[in-house]
Amino acid sequence: MEVDCEGCAGCCLDWRTLAPEGVDHGHERRGEYRPLDDIDNLVPLSRDEVRAFLDAGHGGALVARLFRMTDGPSVSVGGVDVAAVRGRPAFLVGLRKVPKPVAPFDTDAHWLPSCVFLDPETLQCRIHGSDLYPETCSTYPGDNLALDAETECERVERVRGGDRLLDDDPLDDAGPVIGPGSIGARVFVHPEPDRIEEAVERLAAGEATRADHAEFVGVAAASSPGTLLVDDDRHERARKRALDGESWVDDAIAEWSARVAEWSARVAEEAPDPTAAT
């Protein structure tokens, strides 16, 4: 496996707005499992990785993803049918994306949802090579190649051109990130659906709060691999850490959010009034 990542970062971005109109780029919204959120390329973290990010004070970088189900095991929570395991809502925890001015694929800079750890100027990961660097990122796209599924590298080639996937032979130990044995290790279940009704409603509406995500992060950190067990005491401690933890990540999120809000307001002011006579 060999990839050319320079000037790309396609797997770290939600770059659907850069795809020509009519190009199918909805690979995360096919089949039975449909994310409640509308962000592409979530990096699913393991329980131990969730704990490590909390230990580093990066609770603000973590978000939960639940899946809307139309056919299959589900439970109704807050009026939404979500994927479930034995009647308990199933979810992933991944890395948050925030709008940043990035210029991938030799384009001009655009405000795109970008991984919180992506440097928008160099398009390099700020935690690459560190103990926090997720396994999903370090082995990508090996799991896709092992499953003979299209990689983000190939999607970039198909839509934007160029050569990104230089060698498509998967690594010897490559396998699916999510598979048998993932319960409690990378796929988590919430033990009390009634407690998260309002959070699920906000997730479905794109209005989830940090407290909403912290509730799920706490469950993930308190889960036991291979089981549905959740340690209540550890959950509460982890939830508080996810909610209260502070690091440079929080400052960066606030700064980028403020900058994109200023940019949006400026664009709105400069836009011509569509009701004005021409």
What ranges do the domains of the chain cover? 2-245
pLDDT tens per residue across all 278 residues of the chain: 789 999 999 999 999 999 887 666 656 555 677 899 988 899 999 999 999 999 999 999 999 999 999 888 999 999 999 999 999 999 999 999 999 999 999 999 999 999 999 999 999 999 999 999 999 999 998 888 888 888 999 999 988 888 999 888 877 766 667 777 899 999 999 999 999 999 999 999 999 999 999 999 999 999 999 999 999 999 999 999 999 988 999 999 999 989 988 988 888 777 655 455 44
Longest dimension (CA), the chain: 66
Residue 90: what pLDDT? 97
Distance of alpha carbon 87 from alpha carbon 81, whole angstroms: 11
Residues across the chain: 278
pTM over 0.85: yes
Check residue 277 and give its pLDDT.
46
pLDDT at 25: 60
Residues 112-117: contacts with CB under 8 Å, at least 24 apart: 112/13, 112/14, 112/15, 112/17, 112/18, 113/13, 113/14, 113/39, 113/40, 114/9, 114/12, 114/13, 114/14, 115/12, 115/13, 115/43, 116/60, 116/61, 116/249, 116/252, 116/253, 117/61, 117/249
pLDDT at res. 99: 94
Residue 67 burial (CB < 10 Å; 0-12/13-18/19+)? buried
